A and B are shown apart, each in its own frame.
Chain A
Amino acid sequence: MELLNSIFIKPFQDMVAAPDFLLQVLWEGLVAGVLYALIALGFVLIYKSSRIFNFAQGIMVVFAALTLVGLHEKGIPALLAVPLTLVVMLILAIAIERVVLRPLVNQPDIILFMATIGITLFLVGFGELIFGGENKVMITEQLGIPTGSFTFEPFGGFVSIEQKDLTAVIGAVVLVAALLVFLNKSKMGRAIRALGDDHQAALSVGISLSTIWILVWFIAGIIALATGIVWGARAGVSFALEVIAYKALPVLMLGGLESVLGAIIGGLAIGILEKLFEIYWGQPLMGGNTETWFAFVFALIVLLFRPQGLFGEKIIERV
């Protein structure tokens, strides 16, 4: 009885009793969720256009952050280091297309997946070689990201919002919006969607695979840099940053590997739910630290009831 009460009643009583605290929790969850959504988007774009499950997405976050901080350490001004890092990510995309994807086109999916593991190992080694293996601090201030915090006093309580989190959320929203406009309105975006629908037909109308692949890997690179900056500002820049990409897995399980909208909604949902669970159920009942596994368990449970994921693209069948 006591247990049931603490699972089904007390958490909600707590939420109502301290709405300001609930808002704080929701905000924290939203910030994490925005990042999960971004990373998942990178996966989805690459998967849609090449059927490759990109194992290297996580390490790309680390590599981008390392490159940015590394370039700055070598004396390059922060605001110049950002475009330079983007150039590096573009070169990386071109190299991956040339050296890995093009020779392996038409190989079974598993071979390509293994190739992305190869890319991961290469990036770990290459990153360490150039920038060293020790942890670094993200150049948050140098990038002009405000570090103070706002406080609100809703419901006679107290909510604090860090300015860098707010910047991250705004930045991510702008990035996602730009991406959606690009996908839906531009010629290249249309080609990416076409390739996702029908590979053969895309080839037959002259859509160039090389161009599209370079493009989606570059977009994944941009996303990696954005995530690297935000996550690095919270947790420092080290190879441990890679774990954020693992959080994209349950998001993809929920949202479907091919759905842009699924990645966004799935990411936000997981970010918020795992935070709520941690605060109201995990800490009081399980000693906390539930965020490491909650998302996976949640996704598995959802999949039991909806095997195609929450937003798996409808397969249109028509003769």
Chain B
Amino acid sequence: MKMVTMSEAAAKTEAAKPILSVNNIEVIYDHVILVLKGVSLSVPAGGITALLGANGAGKTTTLKAISNLLHAERGEVTKGTIVFEGDQVQALSPNELVRRGCIQVMEGRHCFGHLSVEDNLMTGAFTRRDGKAEINRDLEMVYEYFPRLRVRRASQAGYTSGGEQQMTAIGRALMSRPKMILLDEPSMGLAPQLVEEIFEIVKKLNEEQDVSFLLAEQNTNVALRYAKYGYILESGRVVLDGAAEALRTNEDVKEFYLGVGGEGRKSFRDVKHYKRRKRWLA
């Protein structure tokens, strides 16, 4: 079989300057639970990058490390660095990060249930200082991308459907004028055609609004169709990365993540010929 080699991976990423780079980070919860054991990845400016892996692999933890939301869960980055647009993320508060253009859409949507859809969207503009007119223009833009939200603008978000909540959560992030959105499992619990709809919008936002995406997904199939590059995470380590196209045709990925051939899902660790690369380890 053909491995995705390091040089190939590097060649694909170096085309664009990274907007985000995560360098060999370790994350520990509650001072003792080591969850990320040296994760490195980079997201090119203007790209859609997928972070794939089974439940519990550490995708959410990685995203929260980047958006600096770990503290609230008693998690801590104990090693490594995260650099967003040249600045160390660890030195910035979540508020400051959002202001600089890096925002997370959390797993499970997390809309403000008692607020109307429109109020939800408006909370996304908290960090902005460019005035009402600009903010209202962006609200209009969000409604253009998500016409369904315009219809539901006055409804309490808690009473809208899962798809509408996902749209609200993405729209809310858009209101902050992000350069980069960390999108955690947007497909979770949604019907296939809705998943497709959401990903189409992600693609449009990426192309038209120049928003870079780091996309955590268990739905490998969909994610690799929309992403340009992918990382596969297992038990807190990146076990494979490469261009989306290469990953999709990779035999191991096909077998373990795309459900093509093979008998049931195994782990990369069980595959003898697979050697974990240590290229990021200093």
Residue of chain B at shortest CB distance from A207 = B126
Assess whether A208 is in contact with B95, with CB atoms less than 8 Å apart. Answer: yes
C-alpha gap A207/B159 in the complex (Å):
23
Assess whether B115 is in contact with A204, with CB atoms less than 8 Å apart. Answer: no
Chain A hits for B189, CB < 8 A: 319
Assess whether A206 is in contact with B69, with CB atoms less than 8 Å apart. Answer: no
Assess whether B123 is in contact with A194, with CB atoms less than 8 Å apart. Answer: yes
Query: A271: shortest Cβ distance to chain B, in Å?
Result: 27
Assess whether A191 is in contact with B69, with CB atoms less than 8 Å apart. Answer: no
Assess whether B119 is in contact with A190, with CB atoms less than 8 Å apart. Answer: yes
Assess whether B123 is in contact with A313, with CB atoms less than 8 Å apart. Answer: no
B158 within 8 A of A: yes
B237 within 8 A of A: no
Number of A-B contacts (CB under 8 A): 88
The count of residues in chain A whose C-beta lies closer than 8 Å to any C-beta of chain B is: 23
Assess whether B99 is in contact with A206, with CB atoms less than 8 Å apart. Answer: yes
User: Chain B 87-127 against A: per-residue CB contact (8 Å), 1 yes, 0 no?
Assistant: 00000011101110001111000111111000110111111
Chain A hits for B105, CB < 8 A: 204
B172 within 8 A of A: yes
A203 within 8 A of B: yes
Q: Which of B94, B106, B115, B119 contacts A206 (CB 8 A)?
A: B94
B273 within 8 A of A: no
Assess whether B123 is in contact with A202, with CB atoms less than 8 Å apart. Answer: yes
Chain A hits for B120, CB < 8 A: 194
C-alpha gap A316/B162 in the complex (Å):
13
C-alpha gap A118/B176 in the complex (Å):
38
A205 within 8 A of B: yes
Residue of chain A at shortest CB distance from B162 = A319
Assess whether A194 is in contact with B115, with CB atoms less than 8 Å apart. Answer: yes
User: Chain A 176-192 against B: per-residue CB contact (8 Å), 1 yes, 0 no?
Assistant: 00000000000100110
Chain B hits for A197, CB < 8 A: 112-115
Chain B hits for A174, CB < 8 A: none
Chain B hits for A202, CB < 8 A: 112, 123
User: Chain B 167-195 against A: per-residue CB contact (8 Å), 1 yes, 0 no?
Assistant: 00000110010000000000001000000
Beyond A205-B176, A316-B158, A319-B162, whether A200 also contacts B126 by CB under 8 A is no
Assess whether B98 is in contact with A205, with CB atoms less than 8 Å apart. Answer: yes
User: Chain A 193-229 against B: per-residue CB contact (8 Å), 1 yes, 0 no?
Assistant: 1101111111111111000000000000000000000
Query: B186: shortest Cβ distance to chain A, in Å?
Result: 14
Identify 21 residue pairs between A and B in the complex whose beta-carbon atoms are under 8 Å apart, listed by A's number.
Answer: A191-B123, A193-B115, A194-B112, A197-B112, A197-B113, A198-B111, A201-B111, A203-B72, A205-B124, A205-B172, A205-B176, A206-B95, A206-B97, A206-B98, A206-B99, A206-B103, A208-B95, A316-B156, A318-B158, A318-B162, A319-B162
Given contacts A205-B124, A206-B126, A207-B123, 14 further A-B contacts (CB under 8 A): A106-B74, A190-B115, A193-B114, A194-B123, A197-B114, A198-B112, A200-B72, A200-B110, A201-B112, A204-B67, A205-B98, A206-B99, A206-B103, A207-B95
Q: Which residues of B contact A (CB under 8 A)?
A: 67, 69, 71-72, 74, 93-95, 97-99, 103-106, 110-115, 119-120, 122-127, 156, 158-159, 162, 172-173, 176, 189
Query: 9 tightest A-B contacts by CB?
Result: A206-B98, A316-B158, A201-B110, A197-B112, A206-B127, A208-B95, A316-B113, A194-B112, A194-B123
